[in-house]
């Protein structure tokens, strides 16, 4: 294959995408921010008996990324076809959708290419989201590498699935469907599904609490789509409208909304200095969360060196904001880069090195951790 002869093993990271959370699908959502809600009739997709897994056999651990040896002849053909798209994301999306009936082959090919770095690694979320939108969670059962592009494929799949479910059905089924698929965060995937199934985002957030995954990323998954739907409007929202999304929430749920603000400010072309310092203006309880959101942007998928990342976080001024920002950047590298090594960010954090190591190591204990 010409593509495999020419492919460059670049060291770029797709951390910026996943991390921001923020780069879930940029297609126009079917549920706009303030659209009147009509609950769909509950639906059930039955899995044929002969395709159900044998519950007596423990599942083998799923690999995150496909390697060349994992690709079938068909998958290699698809990978070669995608390689000809160069930096054209629309071309990549079209090829993925074209081969949707060969789910294992197309996902393996895409996973392999994303794992090689370069342009596709840093722009994989939208194509993977579009493919996922036409593959039901049930269709993905048994398919390897479904967590491609930090769950971008699963985000698309479960968002579409959520639109077909009542909130009660989505709540009771989502984690059971997601867990066998090797997701980076089923809680976050659940947030996407619950938001699409719910009458409003407050109801979705309450359901995150009900299924006990609110702090594991479910609430972040909800809020990400709230802002995505807001940005589907024309004209784009003002900074006041963005702030109002968080202001109407109860105190206990407000921080998870404020964690999304740095990315929303960035999309509104607020300069970085004002973005990081802006975390001091949110609710007292939400400042650490806001700083974590800023930290996701600080490293920018490798666009900045660890030292530059720390310097960007240092512009936050307040010690706690700086600490959480740099720890978040380190966590992002550890979770989502092609060569996970969070220590390289903490090592550059000078007086904040100890805090950086401690906070990113115990990330799961944070109030609104992913």
* Residue-wise pLDDT tens digits, 98-130: 999 999 999 999 999 998 888 888 889 899 999
The larger pLDDT score, comparing residue 137 to residue 355, is at 137
Same domain for 113 and 40:
yes
**In-domain check, residue 184:** yes
Domain of 281 in residue numbering reads as 243-370
Same domain for 193 and 75:
yes
Mean pLDDT of the chain: 80
Domain count, the chain: 2
Mean pLDDT of 3-31: 36
Buried b (16+ CB within 10 A) or exposed e, 330-359: bbbbbbbbbeeebbbbbbbbeebbebbbeb
Q: For position 361, what pLDDT does the model report?
A: 65
- What are the angstrom distances between the C-alpha of 287 and each of 193, 270, 322, 324? 27, 18, 11, 9
Same domain for 280 and 223:
no
Q: Domain ends where: 169, 203, 234? A: 234
The larger pLDDT score, comparing residue 320 to residue 338, is at 320
The larger pLDDT score, comparing residue 327 to residue 17, is at 327
**In-domain check, residue 142:** yes
**In-domain check, residue 51:** no
**In-domain check, residue 52:** no
Q: For position 302, what pLDDT does the model report?
A: 62
Same domain for 230 and 252:
no
Same domain for 198 and 81:
yes
Mean pLDDT of 64-84: 94
pTM over 0.75: no
Mean pLDDT of 307-321: 92
Mean pLDDT of 66-73: 94
Q: For position 28, what pLDDT does the model report?
A: 33
pLDDT band at 358 (very low <50, low <70, confident <90, very high): confident
**In-domain check, residue 37:** yes
Omega into 177 within 30° of 0, i.e. cis? no
**In-domain check, residue 128:** yes
Mean pLDDT of 72-100: 96
pLDDT band at 369 (very low <50, low <70, confident <90, very high): very low
Q: For position 342, what pLDDT does the model report?
A: 65
Mean pLDDT of 132-144: 94
Q: For position 250, what pLDDT does the model report?
A: 84
Q: Domain ends where: 214, 234, 254? A: 234
Same domain for 315 and 214:
no
pLDDT band at 147 (very low <50, low <70, confident <90, very high): very high
Count of alpha carbons within 13 angstroms of residue 61, beta-carbon side: 3
Q: Strand, helix or coil at 362?
A: coil
Contact 356, 345 (CB under 8 A): yes
Q: For position 335, what pLDDT does the model report?
A: 55
């Amino acid at each position: 294959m010409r593509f495999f002869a020419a492919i460059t093993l670049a060291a770029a990271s797709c951390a910026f995408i996943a991390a921001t959370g923020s780069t879930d699908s940029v297609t126009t959502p079917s549920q706009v921010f303030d659209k009147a809600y009509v609950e769909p009739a509950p639906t059930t997709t039955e899995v044929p008996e002969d395709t159900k897994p044998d519950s007596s056999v423990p599942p083998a651990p799923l690999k995150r990324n496909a390697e060349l040896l994992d690709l079938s002849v068909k998958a290699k053909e698809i990978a070669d076809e995608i390689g000809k798209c160069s930096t054209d994301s629309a071309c990549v999306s079209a090829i993925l959708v074209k081969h949707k009936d060969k789910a294992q082959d197309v996902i393996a090919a895409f996973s392999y290419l994303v794992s090689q770095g370069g342009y596709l690694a840093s722009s994989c979320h939208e194509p993977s989201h579009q493919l996922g939108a036409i593959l039901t969670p049930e269709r993905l059962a048994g398919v390897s590498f479904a967590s491609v592009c930090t769950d971008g494929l699963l985000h698309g799949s479960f968002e579409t699935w959520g639109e077909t479910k009542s909130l009660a059905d989505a709540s009771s089924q989502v984690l059971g469907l997601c867990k066998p698929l090797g997701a980076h965060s089923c809680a976050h995937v659940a947030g996407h599904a619950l938001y699409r199934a719910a009458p409003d985002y407050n109801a979705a957030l309450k359901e995150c609490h009900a299924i006990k995954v609110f702090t594991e990323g479910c609430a972040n998954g909800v809020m990400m789509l709230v802002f995505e739907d807001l940005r589907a409007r024309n004209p784009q929202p003002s900074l006041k409208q963005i702030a109002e999304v968080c202001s109407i929430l109860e105190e206990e749920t407000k921080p998870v909304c404020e964690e999304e603000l740095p990315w929303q400010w960035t999309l509104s072309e607020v300069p970085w200095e004002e973005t990081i310092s802006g975390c001091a203006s949110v609710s007292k309880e939400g400042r650490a969360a806001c700083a974590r959101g800023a930290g996701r942007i600080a490293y920018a998928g490798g666009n900045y060196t660890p030292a530059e990342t720390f310097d960007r976080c240092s512009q936050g001024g307040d010690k706690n904001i700086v600490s959480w920002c740099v720890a978040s950047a380190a966590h992002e590298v550890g979770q989502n880069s092609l060569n996970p090594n969070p220590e390289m960010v903490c090592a550059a954090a000078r007086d904040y090195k100890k805090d950086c190591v401690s906070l990113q190591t115990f990330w799961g204990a944070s109030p609104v951790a992913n």
